[in-house]
């Protein structure tokens, strides 16, 4: 079946055709369409079974693409949020039907008057095809709340995003980042002290080694340090932003290079806002509910008394997530928020292991799982059934001292050998 034939059969525009044939714009759903084999036996009024399968599958994908197109169009209207989108989706047969609804029909949907007025006043300025074209041009993928790729944990929170946009990464593995792996929100002040910076640099690598995905907000300060530390440790990180994904809208602009680095490394930047949405002040508290919603817990590194990081912590508590806080000096303004959280019941943490233990994670087991022993390390490990000193190991392996010490250090760090003292090592067999 040719693409042209599909256009004729389903009466879709060339732009629709581009959308649903595009893995980039269409949430990673690939569509494979080829000509049916004439060797297959014909039935069902002379149509091959393969042709029927292709027609049915393609029809479903086109329907989904059209729904995404109109959800996206509604979401591009300032004043339309997830609650409004949910009402439209439940009241009308489809979002396409809602888009073409009359004033009276919209009034019957139970929308908030401000949202209804926003739709009526601004809808004529929004071209659904053009809005989807922007996604394709900017390599932005999009998923709706009912899609299989939508993270289960995010569905559990009050008022979850009705639609999510993303750049970078692989949409087909998006949900698994938060189900197959532990995810931790790391937030804090935009003006951290050296103590906060060093703590972030210390905590993140060990959390990455234990298999955590680090989620933060791409803000200056602790957010920036968290993303960078995750990247430098070779780990996964997700940036949740309070604007559209178009680069001109990223805030702060000084973090545009970091945003590029996150995407280029195979990690993700996500938002619930349409690509052209500017970074409005009121968006950032709402963004924080997504950071906590995607996470099993939130770690607040440093925070002033009225810090946005405390909003994230409050959302975490409302969503039944764990809250961790780094204690600080009673004389430090950036510790007033975290110390208050600890007084209110947040878990005081002084090392990454405190976080791991709260989730029932054995640091050594986690390290081994995410840092498999290399062939060179394995060969050395087999020589350590009994206590062996470095000089004997040098003679048996032919390795120089620096290389040998590096390998022994890695094996010790992975918890499979112990240092007995006097440069002597032995394998841990139980």
Is the domain of 187 the same as that of 93?
no
The whole-angstrom separation of Cα 69 and Cα 273 is 14
Mean pLDDT, residues 275-292: 95
Summarised one tens digit per residue, pLDDT across range 30-78 is 333 333 333 333 333 334 444 444 444 444 455 577 889 999 999 999 9
Cβ atoms 242, 217 nearer than 8 A: yes
Q: Which of 83, 116, 135 is the last residue of a domain?
A: 135
Taking all residues of the chain, what is their mean pLDDT, rounded to a whole number? 84
Q: Tell me, what's the pLDDT at 367?
A: 63
Is the domain of 78 the same as that of 222?
no
Helix, strand and coil percent figures for the chain, each rounded to 5: 50, 15, 35
Mean pLDDT, residues 114-140: 93
pLDDT over threshold 80, residue 194 = yes
pLDDT over threshold 60, residue 115 = yes
Is the domain of 254 the same as that of 119?
no
Cβ atoms 215, 183 nearer than 8 A: yes
The proportion of the chain whose per-residue pLDDT surpasses 90, expressed as a percent, equals 66
pLDDT over threshold 70, residue 153 = yes
Is the domain of 383 the same as that of 249?
no
Is the domain of 210 the same as that of 352?
yes
Is the domain of 121 the same as that of 261?
no
The whole-angstrom separation of Cα 159 and Cα 244 is 19
The whole-angstrom separation of Cα 175 and Cα 186 is 19
Q: Which of 87, 117, 135 is the last residue of a domain?
A: 135
Q: Which of 135, 151, 178 is the last residue of a domain?
A: 135
The CATH number for 143's domain is 3.40.50.450
Q: Tell me, what's the pLDDT at 127?
A: 95
The whole-angstrom separation of Cα 325 and Cα 348 is 5
Is the domain of 233 the same as that of 344?
yes
Mean pLDDT, residues 406-414: 84
Is the domain of 163 the same as that of 282?
yes
User: Where are the extended beta strands (E) located within 141-286?
Assistant: 141-144, 163-167, 182-187, 212-216, 236-240, 268-271
Domain hosting 407: range is: 372-427
Is the domain of 218 the same as that of 342?
yes
Summarised one tens digit per residue, pLDDT across range 214-232 is 999 999 999 999 999 999 9
The number of domains in the chain is 3
DSSP string covering 382-405 = GGGSS-EEHHHHHHHH---HHHHH
The whole-angstrom separation of Cα 256 and Cα 251 is 8
Mean pLDDT, residues 324-348: 96
Is the domain of 238 the same as that of 342?
yes
Record the tokens describing residue 404, joined without a space: 């040998």
Q: Tell me, what's the pLDDT at 61?
A: 57
The CATH number for 421's domain is 1.10.10.10
Is the domain of 79 the same as that of 144?
no
29 three-class SS: coil
Is the domain of 259 the same as that of 306?
yes
């Amino acid at each position: 079946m040719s693409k042209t034939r599909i256009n004729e059969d389903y009466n879709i525009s060339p732009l629709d055709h581009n959308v649903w044939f595009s893995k980039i714009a269409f949430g990673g759903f690939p569509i494979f369409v080829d000509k049916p084999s004439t060797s297959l036996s014909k039935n069902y009024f002379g149509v091959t079974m393969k042709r029927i399968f292709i027609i049915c599958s393609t029809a479903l994908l086109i329907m989904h693409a059209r729904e995404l197109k109109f959800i996206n169009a509604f979401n591009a209207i300032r004043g339309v949020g997830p609650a409004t989108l949910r009402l439209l989706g439940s009241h009308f047969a489809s979002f396409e039907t809602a888009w073409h609804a009359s004033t009276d029909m919209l009034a019957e949907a139970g929308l908030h008057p401000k949202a209804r007025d926003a739709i009526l006043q601004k809808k004529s300025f929004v071209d659904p095809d053009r809005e989807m074209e922007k996604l394709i041009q900017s390599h932005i993928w999009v998923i709706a709340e009912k899609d299989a790729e939508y993270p289960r944990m995010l569905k559990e929170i009050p008022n979850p995003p009705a639609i999510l946009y993303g750049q970078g990464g692989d949409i087909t593995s998006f949900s698994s980042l938060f189900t197959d792996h532990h995810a931790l929100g790391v937030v804090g002040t935009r003006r951290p002290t050296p103590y906060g910076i060093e703590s972030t640099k210390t905590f993140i690598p060990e959390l990455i080694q234990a298999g955590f995905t680090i989620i933060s907000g791409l803000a200056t300060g602790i957010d920036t340090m968290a993303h960078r530390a995750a990247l430098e440790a070779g780990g996964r990180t997700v940036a949740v932003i309070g604007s559209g994904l178009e680069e001109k809208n990223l805030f702060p602009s000084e973090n545009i290079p970091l945003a590029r680095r996150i995407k280029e490394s195979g990690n993700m930047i996500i938002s619930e806002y349409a690509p052209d949405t500017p970074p409005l002040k009121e968006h950032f508290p709402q963004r924080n509910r997504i950071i906590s919603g995607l996470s099993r817990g939130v770690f607040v590194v440093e925070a002033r008394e009225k810090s946005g990081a405390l909003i994230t912590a409050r959302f975490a508590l409302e969503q039944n997530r764990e809250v961790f806080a780094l204690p600080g000096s009673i004389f430090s303004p950036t510790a007033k928020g975290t110390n208050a959280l600890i007084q209110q019941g947040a878990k005081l943490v002084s090392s990454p292991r405190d976080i791991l233990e709260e989730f029932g994670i054995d640091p050594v087991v986690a390290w081994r799982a995410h840092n498999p022993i290399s062939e060179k390390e394995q060969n050395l490990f087999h020589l350590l059934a009994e206590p062996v000193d470095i000089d004997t190991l040098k003679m048996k392996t032919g390795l120089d001292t620096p290389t040998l010490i590096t390998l022994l250090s890695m094996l010790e760090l992975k918890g499979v050998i112990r240092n007995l003292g006097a440069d002597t090592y032995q394998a841990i067999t139980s």
